[in-house]
Each structure stands twice: as C-alpha cells, then as structure tokens.
Amino acid sequence: MRVTLLGTGDTTGTPTVGCDCDTCEAARERDVERTRFSVHVENERTDESLLIDFSPDFRYQFLRDEVPLPDAAVISHIHFDHLDGLGNVFRVLDSLEVYAADETDPETGKSVAETVRDDYHYLEPLTVVPTTPLETVRICGLDVTLVPVDHPPLVCYGLAIEDPVTGAKLSITGDTSYDVPAGSRDVLAGADLLLADAIVPASLCEHHPIGGRHEDAEGTPRTFGTKHMTREGALAMAEQLDADRTRLVHLAHFYPVEEAFAEPLAVDGEVYEL
C-alpha cells in the first residue's frame, strides 16, 4: 500500500492566498506547501488507487505528484475543502465509484451520500455508493471502514484502510475534535500510519472565541474550539490509538513559524510504503 499525502492543509492552505505572515513566507522560501486535504492510496497488488476526499486543489495535486487517477473515492464529509474538487471528474474520468456514509445528518436532512449524489447529479461518470459506518467494505482490494467522529455541526467520518493480504493499515481521523467515540477509536487503533487532524497548537486556543476544550490533566486543550484537535490533542490521540507512526495533517498557517515545519507535522507530497 503506497500512501501519498496530496493535501495536508486546512481550508485556506499554506501559503494562504494574500498572506505574508512568517509561516506563509517561510513556506514559500522552503518551496513547501499544504494544499487542501486529500490522500491517495495505491494498492500495488491490484494496480488500483483510492482517493480520500476531493480537494479543490485536485488538478494541481495530481499534476504535481504524478499519482494515478483514482479508481474509487471516499468522501469524509461535505465541507468544501474535502468535496468541491469532485467536479474535476468531468471529462477526466470515464467512471468513478464514490463511497460516502448513508446516515442522515440532522443538520442537513440528508446523508453525505445523498448530498454528493444531489450536488453532483450532472456528472455522468459518477456512481455514489451509500456506505454504512462501522461496516467494512472492500474497495480497490482494500478493506475500508468509515468511523463516526466529532466535527459539529455536520456529521463527519474518519477511516481505517487495511490490506487484507499484507495486514498493512492506514488510519485517518478525519476532521474531528478529541471527542472521538470509543467504537471509532477501536477501529482506528493499531495503524502502521495514522493521519491525525491537528489544526493548530494548543497555545492558540486563547485566540478562539470559545477557547479550547477536552483539557488533559495539566489543563492543555486537546480540542481547538469545537471542530478540530490541537497538535497536543492529536498526539494524545495517536498515543491512545497506539499508532506505529503519526503524521499531523489539516494544518493551518497559524502555526508559529518556529513550529510550523517541525516533526511530526506533514507537508504535501510525502509518500509512505505500508
């Protein structure tokens, strides 16, 4: 299983358009970037590839990293930075199965699968496959399980992806606070590689209108506001999940420059063989 981190940034990415903060300037100087979130998983046994989320930067990411076009995809939730690249399917792919959760979101009255189907009804190559969370499905020769996480006000899902032949396992927290349900943690546990949402360091919680939540014993917030883990929260989650290796993703340009490119914060283009 070859995992390529196509997009490791948050909604605006790093560098952020029009921003001259120290972190964005350092990214330009180092020629590194964090575009909007997306992960490419290639099953070399079957010569198929699976895309996790359709970043608005889809075209650029695929040209830059020269990965194969996806044979199937999974959508974690309907925020634009994870979904709006789906329009790139038009005149690029002849067919594509898109897997998305079938649970009705009380906020929208639709499941993620229904939203994808309705919003992209004009894409003839698209087949939306409603998928029940916590039930494993075989996609591109890999066992994929959607797990509910906590990203209010919308439903959102993380994923566990396992090769049934080699046993290699990739876990992705998805966009989430630290309040991931116990059943989801059980599925995500024991990964060879964990990609964990870590939008900012905990020190920046003081700048959020509602601060931080889910403090540890020392009072360090593991959730920034309501929707995302802090760096400290993501690392605590990784320890609890007993991940062999962890990379922090969905990173904002608000990281202080002296911390913004330190381990284990990821940048675009990283490749892992599991």
**Other CB atoms within 10 Å distance of the CB of residue 115:** 20
Q: SS3 for 9?
A: strand
- pLDDT tens by residue, 155-197: 999 999 999 999 999 999 999 999 999 999 999 999 999 999 9
Q: SS3 for 40?
A: strand
pLDDT for residue 115: 98
- pLDDT tens by residue, 177-187: 999 999 999 99
Q: What is the mean pLDDT of residues 38-54?
A: 97
Distances, alpha carbon 58 to alpha carbons 45, 76, 84, 115, 191, in Å: 25, 16, 9, 20, 26
pLDDT for residue 178: 98
Q: What is the mean pLDDT of residues 120-147?
A: 97
- DSSP code per residue over 234-252: HHHHHHHHT-SSEEEESB-
Both tokens assigned to 26: 């350092």
pLDDT for residue 31: 97
Q: What is the mean pLDDT of residues 224-228?
A: 97
pLDDT for residue 34: 98
Both tokens assigned to 179: 């309040």
What burial letters (b/e) apply to 98-110, b meaning 16+ CB within 10 Å? Answer: bbbbbbebeeeeb
Q: SS3 for 128?
A: strand
- Would you place residue 33 in the very low, low, confident or very high pLDDT band (cuts 50, 70, 90)? very high
CATH match for 2-273 among 3.30.160.270, 3.40.50.1450, 3.40.50.300, 3.60.15.10:
3.60.15.10
- Domain residue spans in the chain? 2-273
